[in-house]
């Protein structure tokens, strides 16, 4: 069973009141949440407070998670980012405006391993919902850095076909709920 299915299963068990499932869920995901919070807040104590708040919310409101909103990791990442930005807004309005400007830049310009990992997880999840050929071409271009010409040679298809496949694939990805939610929450390009 993959991590996404396992995490979703744990969420259902937590919603049914399983403390054991919550403990396992916490053990599985707390470093991920803490890493995001620390990267945004830059303060270990504040990051731990956010981590505590997020997992308290998971325990109390796990039934609010819906797989249609994306993977559990994407859901946690968005909740964590949002909670951190709320904290920064309360304390440092100028800093949060700068941070939001950074988060709205192209991902390649964001000097943040954590945010690129979140984007990667969300994109991998969304890729599972588009046709195989589109998934293959976009995966090769995005994750392996192949040019359109390299893809045409690799797949033995015309360059124009590669461009069309990518265009249709991106249009299909735009329809995927987790990407829409991520972009609307300032995580990706608008």
Q: Mean pLDDT across the chain, nearest whole number?
A: 77
Q: Are residues 140 and 190 in the same domain?
A: yes
Question: What is the tens place of the pLDDT at every residue in 176-188?
Answer: 654 544 444 444 4
Question: Which of these, 26, 35, 2, lies nearest to 115 by C-alpha position?
Answer: 35
pLDDT for 119: 66
Give the pLDDT of residue 4: 74
**Confidence (pLDDT) at 172:** 82
Predicted confidence at residue 100, as pLDDT, reads: 52
Domain boundary among 103, 126, 158: 103
Burial of 109: CB neighbours in 10 Å, binned 0-12, 13-18, 19+: exposed
Confidence (pLDDT) at 123: 72
Could you give the CA distance from residue 80 to residue 35 in angstroms, rounded to a whole number? 10
- pLDDT above 80: residue 54: yes
Say which CATH number the domain at 138 has. 1.10.10.10
Q: Is the pLDDT of residue 77 over 60?
A: yes
- 13 & 64 share domain: yes
Domain interval for residue 96:
1-103
- pLDDT for position 186: 44
Same domain, 118 and 46: no
CATH of residue 7: 1.10.1740.10
What is the structure's pLDDT at 32? Answer: 92
For 88-131, what is each residue's pLDDT tens digit? Answer: 777 655 444 554 554 454 333 333 455 566 667 667 777 888 89
82 and 5, same domain (yes or no): yes
Both tokens of 58, joined, read 């998971």
Which residue among 57, 76, 103 closes a domain?
103
Percent of the chain with pLDDT over 90: 22
- Compute the half-sphere exposure of residue 21: CA atoms within 13 Å on the CB side of its CA: 16
User: Are 14 and 78 part of one and the same domain?
Assistant: yes
pLDDT digits (tens, 9 = 90+) for 137-148: 888 887 778 888
Residue 55 has pLDDT above 50, yes or no: yes
Residue 115, pLDDT score: 55
Query: What's the pLDDT at 153?
Result: 92
63/156 same-domain check: no
Model confidence pTM above 0.85: no
For residue 26, the model assigns a pLDDT of 94
**Do 73 and 2 have their domain in common?**
yes
Q: How many domains does the chain have?
A: 2
CB distance 146 to 155 below 8 Å:
no
Q: Higher confidence at residue 168 or residue 173?
A: 168
**pLDDT on residue 158:** 92
Last residue of a domain, one of 81, 103, 125: 103
72 and 120 fall within a common domain:
no
Among 48, 45, 46, smallest CA distance to 56 is for 48
């Amino acid at each position: 069973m993959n991590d996404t299915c396992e995490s979703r299963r744990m969420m259902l068990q937590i919603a049914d009141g399983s403390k054991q499932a919550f403990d396992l869920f916490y053990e599985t995901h707390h470093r991920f949440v803490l890493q995001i919070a620390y990267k945004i807040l830059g303060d270990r104590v504040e990051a731990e407070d956010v981590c505590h708040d997020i997992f308290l919310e998971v325990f109390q409101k796990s039934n609010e998670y819906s797989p249609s909103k994306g993977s559990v990791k994407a859901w946690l990442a968005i909740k964590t980012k949002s909670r951190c930005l709320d904290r920064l807004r309360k304390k440092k309005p100028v800093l949060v405006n700068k941070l939001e400007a950074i988060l709205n830049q192209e991902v390649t310009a964001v000097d943040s391993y954590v945010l690129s990992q979140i984007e990667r997880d969300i994109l991998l999840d969304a890729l599972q919902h588009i046709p195989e050929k589109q998934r293959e071409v976009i995966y090769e271009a995005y994750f392996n850095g192949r040019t359109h010409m390299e893809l045409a040679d690799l797949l033995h298809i015309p360059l124009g076909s590669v461009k069309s496949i990518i265009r249709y694939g991106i249009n299909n990805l735009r329809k995927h709920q987790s990407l829409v939610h991520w972009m609307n929450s300032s995580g990706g390009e608008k």
